[in-house]
Structure 1
Amino acid sequence: MGDGVRPARKPMKDAQEEAGLPPGVWMGRGLPALGLTAGQTVTERQAELLFGEGRHRDADRIKRECLDDGADPETARLATVLGQPVEEIEQRGQVPLLALDFVFRPQARLVVLLALGDDHTRRVIERAHERAIAVTLGWLEEEVAEVRWASGRKRTKAPALVVAKFRHFDNRHGFPLLHDHCLILNRVQRPDGTWGALDTVRRYQHVVAAGTLYTLTMTTEVCEELGLATVPREVTPGPAR
């Protein structure tokens, strides 16, 4: 929590406030399928269910309604699961992958400008940072994200991700470092409405391109708004070994 360890039994909301951090917010086109909307606060229970158990964010209510309708406990539990149950994955000796953490951070010189600039400068950089994240996540949805099934033999585009975004303002040493952790749920809806896992290999293959798009989008907007300019950096050979 805030790049530190949250004490046991301390509620997430209290820990965020003590660390001086804003609450996480939901992003992504896949939110409506879970009854969420963009900008809503990420609650601790939602995070536990989605990122800890691979279940619907409203699993408690769904399970209770199933039990009230006469379903047995196991059937009621399975009704809340998104995709393959975590228990089945663990029974095969595998570790369930329920989320991917994409971290978006400005270039170092923009971090310094943010830390030393006036209020207007800080607002420009933070707005550009937020828009660059939105642009990059939109590109991942449109061009990269694919859902797989049949043990990976089949796949199709999945332009609707579920993302929990958490903002931090410094690094582990206490130095200024604006950055956002975007937890991308490793569960997306297939065209038939069922849930499956993302093709994570494809995501990692495009991680450099995603970072480049974020940096280009943010830098361009900051330069236009503040009247700055960029210069090409000449890459020189390193020392001979």
Structure 2
Amino acid sequence: MKISTKLNSPFLKEVGDIAHFTGRFFREISKPKQEWEEFINQCFWVGYKTLTLVGITAFIMGLVLTIQSRPTLVEFGAESLLPSMVSVSLVREISPVITALICAGKIGSGMGAELGSMRVTEQIDAMEVSGTNPFKYLVVTRVMAATIMVPILSSVGNAIALYGGYLGVNIRGQVSWHLYWFQAFNALSFGDFIPSLVKTFFFGFAIGIIGCYKGYNSQKGTEGVGRSATTAVIVASLLVFVIDLIAVQITDLLGLT
């Protein structure tokens, strides 16, 4: 009696392909003559063009969190702790993750659709024939831009969300500008800021790698372009949660919580 042990998993193949794609990225970025002009251009599109969406979302997030938290704190007679609770919740977890998910939806899908369109219209093949390195020009610049701009967007989102929290505190109460910010920052430490900032670099890298991978390897015409954009958002969003879980565990082990 023979038992077949053949392993043919599309999931494992996909993981291997992404790992190979990531390895190629590090090989290309280590080579000289980076495409700095295209990198700056991608920073503009990734950062500036996403700032408005991140800002609006962060403002509403801070406002809603404050309004929703007030009744519970009032019930326990701890309304004065509202600025501290809001600042810790936003800076540690909510603002970085929500910002990363917004970027996964906008940036990841945009990269997947753009590179997918270039692949199916054979523009990438034309670049290879002309002697240009399409991977360095298209992929490296976009991944670098996402890795750098997502932490910046998250930091700006933190500030805007905290301002939204200030308005939320004063909807049914009266807390002065100086008192609110004193309580908000007094509850925070470097152990809150540093892990929150560091993990956003990994969020940005994951979003850039997945978006570029899906688009760069797109197939089957226009249908493949749509599939690349959709799967880029799904996989990047899942990776954001996985990275966040790992970051929380590491932070806890290091005693930074």
Output the TM-score relative to the length of structure 1: 0.33
Q: Which has the higher helix share?
A: 2
Greater RCO structure (CA 8 Å; 6+ sep): 2
Output the TM-score relative to the length of structure 2: 0.32
